[in-house]
Structure 1
Amino acid sequence: MNPVIAILKEHNVSDDQIKEVFQALTENPIMAMNTVQQLGIPQEKLQALMMLLMQNPDLIKEAVDELGLDFSKVEQAKKNLQQ
């Protein structure tokens, strides 16, 4: 299991909420922070989760693949951020 998904499940985040988080990450990574903050994860765990994603962005692709979401939206979001 993807370590990001495992951390979310460890904090009783539902499968639907996990999909919502990764859908937000694929569409607008900056706005996804609001979604993640509303999950009720303790601040220190949330910071560790964000550091994990920043240090290993491939985990987002792995999780998106694991959840069956569309990774092409992640690539489009990257392009939008670079402009």
Structure 2
Amino acid sequence: MNPILAMLKENNISDEKISELFEALTQNPLAAMGTLGQLNLPQEQVQLLMGQVMQNPSLIKEAVEELGLDFAKVEAAKTKLQQP
């Protein structure tokens, strides 16, 4: 299982909330950060996870695909964020 999804499940985050988080990620990554903050995850686990994602950004793609979502939407949202 993807380490992002595993960490969320270890912290008893429901499948519904996980899907909601990744749906937000595909539409607006900044909103996804707010959604992530509402999950009340231990800060040290979030920091560790962010470190893993920074070292291996494909983890997000793998998690999105594992959830059956469209990764192209993540890329489109990222492009939107980078525009002035």
8 Å Cα contact 1:64-1:71 kept in structure 2? yes
1:51 is matched with which residue? Answer: 51
Q: Distance in 2 between matches of 1:72 and 1:65?
A: 10
TM-score (ref. length: structure 2): 0.89
Q: Distance in 1 between matches of 2:33 and 2:8?
A: 14
1:22 is matched with which residue? Answer: 22
- Structure 1, gaps ≥5 residues long: none
Q: Distance in 1 between matches of 2:42 and 2:78?
A: 28
Displacement of 1:71: 1.3
TM-score (ref. length: structure 1): 0.90
Q: Distance in 2 between matches of 1:56 and 1:25?
A: 17
Give CA deviations for 1:3-41 in whole Å, capped at 9, x if unaligned: 100010010001111111111111111221110111121
Aligned structure 1 segments of 4 or more residues deviating by more than 3 angstroms = none
Q: Distance in 1 between matches of 2:49 and 2:42?
A: 11
Q: Considering only aligned residues, what root-mean-square deviation do their CA atoms show, in Å?
A: 1.2
Give the secondary structure class of the aligned counterpart of 1:63: helix
Q: Look up the equivalent residue of 1:72 and give its one-letter code.
A: A
| Percent identity over paired residues | 64
- Structure 2, gaps ≥5 residues long: none
Give CA deviations for 1:31-57 in whole Å, capped at 9, x if unaligned: 211101111211111221222223222
